[in-house]
Structure 1
Amino acid sequence: MNIKNFVVESIDEMKNKVTWPSHSFLQNSAVLVIVASLIFSLLIGVIDLGFENLMTWFYDLF
């Protein structure tokens, strides 16, 4: 199999055999990823703040 044949078959497969998601599905998925990322970052920030306060309290004891 030569490179030209590989490229031609790859392009044909991408055009005719791959099922591409719809634009609205991609938008909904992107919004879901953004919301989930924000929730996880806020959760990690709250946990970090809690550990920071706990360690500050612990070090102030000594």
Structure 2
Amino acid sequence: MSKAKLFIQNLIQEVRYKITWPPYHGLQSSSLLVLVASFIFALLIGLMDWSLKKIFVWFYNAF
């Protein structure tokens, strides 16, 4: 039990004193960048899915 307690104490110390947290503005801009990139990738994947569906439907109907 003492090893678990020591681990938790060390964990709390590390989170408090050794981790550098980003400033709020930097966190906001990074989050916005991730949101925009995710939206662009979703659009690209949706466009590829739609176009492949159209191609396969045309191909299956042709034969």
Q: TM-score surpassing 0.5?
A: yes
- Structure 2: 5+ residue stretches without partners: none
Q: Tell me the number of residue pairs that the alignment of Structure 1 and Structure 2 aligns.
A: 62
Coordinate RMSD, CA, aligned: 1.3
Alpha-carbon distance between aligned partners in 1 of 2:17 and 2:32, rounded to the nearest angstrom: 28
Give unpaired runs (5+ residues) of structure 1.
none
The DSSP-based 3-state class of the residue aligned with 1:2 is helix
| Aligned match of 1:50 | 51
TM-score by length of 2: 0.85
- Partners of 1:43 and 1:16 lie apart in 2 by 42
State the TM-score, normalizing by the size of structure 1: 0.86
Q: Does 1:35 align with 2:39?
A: no
Which 4+ runs in 1 deviate beyond 3 A? none
- Which has more helix, going by share of residues? 2
